[in-house]
Amino acid sequence: MKLHRFLIGQAETLLADVLTFTHPADAVVSRFFRAHPKLGHAERGVIAEAIFAVLRRRLEFAHLAQSGSGAPNRRLILLGLMQTVGRGVLSAVVSDEEKAWLDRIAQIDPASLPERMRLNLPDWIGDTLRAELGDEGLMQLAAALNYPAPLDLRANTLKATREQVLDALENAGIDGGTTPYAPEALRLVGKPALTRLKAFQDGWFEVQDEGSQLLAYLLAPKRGEMVVDFCAGAGGKTLALGALMRSSGRLYALDVSERRLAKFKPRMARSGLSNVHPIVIDSENDVKIRRLGGKIDRVLVDAPCSGLGTLRRNPDLKWRQSPASLAELNVKQASILAAAARLLKPSGRLVYATCSLLPAENEAIVAAFLASHPDFELGDAAAVLKSQRIDLDTGPMLKLLPHRHGTDGFFAAILQRKAAAKATAAEPASEPA
């Protein structure tokens, strides 16, 4: 599409609101578009991509913008637009002074910038990741986080094979291919509109990052089992688990948000699953959960976390999180994991997962849990994936990184309840309301 001057002004206005960091960026952007219904689909895409480019490269752009003139937010949004639509398109709709400034910026070698500007990370995050990945690994990760994530799909094998989904996409003029790890994952070229496709409406596929799909294979639920998705959210992982169970057994989708579970219901209807039971809970200690104590074969805990593994999609999180908010999350993560573990039968399996890159939310939580729960032991994630013909070995615990695996950042650990352990005393056999 052709870029118009008024779009730059709209983007500048929206950016000022986003940079207050009082609400999630995607919510602020959605609210802005609802307030400006005359903006077309393509125009919204241009504005949103520029906003998120600024969030991804905020430190770098702020450093470069010091050399310009005019309002600071306008300089930032011009740099975002230069990355997303290109300098040639942008130059046609800015002043001569701004065009000359953008030309000068384009001549700067990014490698010449100070390291902190190239990382585009708050110091507390950068320092933690450097200790984990080393200098080179940190720079590679930071470079990957400066660009949008790809669009991944999961073929719903209750309705169609991965090859059938690929054919349907190709017939709709959408390019894509398979991914390296998850058996039913597809990765598309660009960000095509999908919701009007018959294949989508018929439940042939769901949008889901490949890394997220792998969590279902770690849990490896079997037909006829009782399984709990403890923090189900909008249900993407629940749907993946249900497909692996071939819609048999019982699959409980628990969440504290009635709104999120309400969004899940249309997805569940499209999927064709009949074994899913969404349940709103008030906390991890809800009586509805206690009634399942000692009865469950497998539990997935995709714990609330900082979300720093999703920075390609949600770059504002790195500016909205803090060491204090991380400490609060750690307390919640430990509490949820302990509550979920009480559901398992002897020999039952729990997968603790986050979309975080930080050891404090990952290895530290698992280590503390194992130290206080001698009836559990750590399973081997690589061996479980290998048994399902998934060639991915990141060690005993799953660790996915955008620059290494092309997925969102994910962590997962298998916590196996020992066969000799006694099940938690169950309350009366009634199931959750």
Residue 62 lies in a domain: yes
**Do 50 and 172 fall within a single domain?**
no
255 annotated to a ligand binding site: yes
**Do 18 and 156 fall within a single domain?**
no
**Do 248 and 379 fall within a single domain?**
yes
**Do 85 and 185 fall within a single domain?**
no
**Do 252 and 107 fall within a single domain?**
no
Tell me the per-residue pLDDT of 235-263, one tens digit each, with 9 for 90 and over: 999 999 999 999 999 999 999 999 999 99
User: Is the confidence at residue 231, as pLDDT, over 70?
Assistant: yes
**Do 175 and 81 fall within a single domain?**
no
Tell me the per-residue pLDDT of 165-177, one tens digit each, with 9 for 90 and over: 999 999 999 999 9
Q: Which residue has the tokens 């590679």?
A: 140
Residue 181 lies in a domain: yes
Residues annotated catalytic, as ranges: 355
Task: Name the nearest CA neighbour of 307 among 295, 319, 324, 294.
Answer: 319
Residue 201 lies in a domain: no
- Rounded CA separation 131/2 (Å): 45
- Say if residues 77 and 54 touch (Cβ distance below 8 Å): yes
Domain span including residue 167 = 151-190
Number of domains in the chain: 3
- The CATH number linked to 172 is 3.30.70.1170
In the chain, the percentage of residues whose pLDDT exceeds 90 is 92
**Do 11 and 95 fall within a single domain?**
yes
- The CATH number linked to 43 is 1.10.940
- What is the average pLDDT across 332-338? 97
Burial of 103 (0-12, 13-18, 19+ CB in 10 A): exposed
**Do 293 and 374 fall within a single domain?**
yes
Tell me the per-residue pLDDT of 1-42, one tens digit each, with 9 for 90 and over: 678 888 999 999 999 999 999 999 999 999 999 999 999 988
The pTM score is 0.93
- Rounded CA separation 277/289 (Å): 13
- The CATH number linked to 261 is 3.40.50.150
pLDDT at 119: 97
Residue 198 lies in a domain: no
